[in-house]
Copies of this chain bind each other. A is one copy, B any other.
Amino acid sequence: MTTAAIVVIGNEILSAKVTDENGPFLARELRTLGVELRRIETVPDEIPLIIDALRRCLASARWVFTSGGIGPTHDDVTISAIAEAFGRRVVLDEGTSKLLRARYGDKLNAARMRLAEVPEGAKVEFHEGYVFPVISLENVTILPGVPSLLREGFTRIRERFRVAPIFTRALYFTLGEGALAEHLDATVARFPSVGIGSYPRFDDADHRVKVTFDGRDEGEVRSAASFLRERVPAGTIIREE
């Protein structure tokens, strides 16, 4: 099973100055690509906390994505943290340095030069029409925090993560969870390879519970949905997707 984890880095998220868009965006993308997202950790711009989150994510997932903390200012510490987590030095990437010299000339100060910093051994890819490089180190992809840049960078590399799709079915019930639970338990026990979720609503929607079935094997997913459908009282399912 191909798995992923995300580290969202930024005081601005935790202090609610901005609402994170990058975690939800990557979650949707990974889902579409068939990759199972195992965790998202949102941490401040602090090297020890980033390293700690990164190590945990590396231990629990095949691919790790970081969002944020890339740039020339004091609060941009992601590159240093990733280098330290892998026991690497921070070095200047040659290709990026050249581009910066061409762009800034005499105005290439120490801060701007930080844009060329990468963990030693990192892969730095430039893609046509996208000014920022996509930086990766082993199985960590290092993405910028500005949502438009993150989306554009990820879009350039997304296909390399694609695996077998996850099939999904959903049943919508007029029954509540209290009445459904025993039937769900039986379905969960019968179809261990299918991920089954139960999501109640307490508003005036046309259903009280949505039950979802996820799995790599379409036949199993369909069978699990049928199994539950046949157990519940007639007329309690108002929709199937």
Contact = CB atoms under 8 A, between A and B. Distances in A.
A160 interface: no
Contact of A37 (B14, B28, B75, B114): B14
A119 interface: no
Contact count band on A: 35 or more
A19 B15 contact: no
Nearest to A60: B49
Given A111-B178, A149-B202, A201-B146, A15 B73 contact: no
Contacts of A181: 72-74, 109-112, 114
Q: Determine how many copies of this chain the complex contains.
A: 2
A189 B157 CA distance: 38
A180 interface: yes
B31 A16 contact: yes
A196 interface: yes
A12 interface: yes
B177 A72 contact: yes
Interface string A18-60: 1110011001101100001111111111000100000000000
A212 B74 CA distance: 13
A97 to B, nearest CB: 14
A12 B197 contact: yes
B16 A27 contact: yes
A104 interface: yes
B38 A40 contact: no
Most B CB within 10 A of own CB, among A12, A15, A23, A36 = A15
